[in-house]
Each structure stands twice: as structure tokens, then as C-alpha cells.
Amino acid sequence: MQKTILIVDDSATIRKLVRLVIESMGHHTIEASDGLEALSILTHTRLDMLITNLNMPNLDGFQLIQQVRKKYHKQNLPILILSSEEEPEIVERGFNAGANVYLYKPLIPWQLRQEMNKIFTQAKLGRD
């Protein structure tokens, strides 16, 4: 079944590469270049997953995730962080904010596909 995935990254290159990977899986994507734009999309679009960078202008990834979870009450929306930040404390902060998966940049396409499939399988099992 086709899913809708929001990709949030200030790098147009990363957004494009992630989009291509996701589209090759048969899913639909929406793009946002920062957290604020992502929130405005989130309010009027039904999403199946959020993939976000951390380091972004206006509203960073941590703030975005926190708002998605607390302000928008989207507890079940799978959130995947794709970031170049490798420090354990930042990774932990990402999970504490509400992320489900943390992937390091550079983007490894098969890795992204694998993690997304895992999330969707878990979500399906949860529903069944």
C-alpha cells in the first residue's frame, strides 16, 4: 500500500536522494526545507512517516519532533532522523525527543530502505 512520507532537510540534494529512494519503493513523498514548513504540512496532510534532519534553520529537528509528539499529539507517527551528528548525547536527545530510528549521514540508500521497511512491518504487526 502506498504511504505518504514527509522529508525534512535543508539540503535540496539530500531531499532529492531520499525522495528517489522512497519513490523507488512505491511511496509518495512531500518535502520541506525546515521544521516550520514541515509543521505547516503536517497540519493538513495525513502522513505515514517523517524523515528529518536535525540541523536546520528556523526550527531544528529536535524542536520539530517535540512539537509533532507533544503539540500535534502524533504519538504513532514513525519518525526517522537522518543526520550527520554522531555524538551519543545528540543521538540520545533525538530518541528522547521522540524519534524511532536514527540514521547517520551520508545517506546509504539500502540502509534507509531497510529501516523504513522495518518500521512499516512493525506498524502493520501493531495494527494486526
Partner 1 sequence: MILSKQNHEDDITKQHLNAIRQAKSTIEKQNALQDLLQCYGEDSAALLVTLLEDRDDEIRSIAFHGLSLVPSEKSAVLLATFLAHTDLHVRNLVAELLVQYKAMAVPALLRCLSNPNKKVRKFAIDILGLIGDLTVTPELAILLDKEQEPIVQVAIAEALGNLRAAEAVELLMRHIDSCPGMAPVVIDALGKINTQKSIGFLLEVLQRNDFYLSLFSLEALSNAFYPEIIDTLVERYKRIHPELKTNFFKTLCSIYQKLDPPPASKINFYRFKDDILKILKETENIQVFSSIFNSLPDDFIIKMFVQVLELLNHQNQDINYFVIERLKRLDKTEILIKLDQYLDSISARGHLALLNLIGDCDLVCAENILKKLGNSPIPEIRRVVAEVASVFNGAEFDYILIQLANDSVQLVRESAYLALSDRAYYDLIPIFEKGLESQVHSIFQVSLHTLARLSPGLLYNHLEKWLSVNDGERLLMFLSYMPENFFLSKPFLKTLLEHVNMKIRMYAIHAFETISEEVVQDWIAAGQEDKHPDVRLVALRAQIRQNAARAKVAISRALDDQDCRIQEVALEATKQLCLTEMLPQIYSLLGSSDRKVQLKAVQVIQELGGAKGITKARERLYNYGENADNIISLATDQNLFSVLNPDEAQ
Smallest separation, CB 78 to partner 1 (Å)? 22
By CB under 8 A, name the binding residues for partner 1.
2, 11, 13, 16-17, 20-21, 24, 54-57, 60, 62, 84, 105-110
CB-side neighbour CA atoms (13 Å) of 103: 20
Q: Which residues, 6+ apart, have CB-to-CB distance to 46 below 8 Å?
A: 4
**Nearest distance from residue 2's CB to partner 1, in Å?**
7
CB-nearer residue toward partner 1: 30 or 107: 107
Closer to partner 1 by Cβ: residue 21 or 116? 21
Q: Which is nearer to partner 1, 23 or 122 (CB)?
A: 23
Name the minimum Å distance from CB 17 to partner 1.
5
Q: Are 78 and 107 within 8 A, CB to CB? A: no
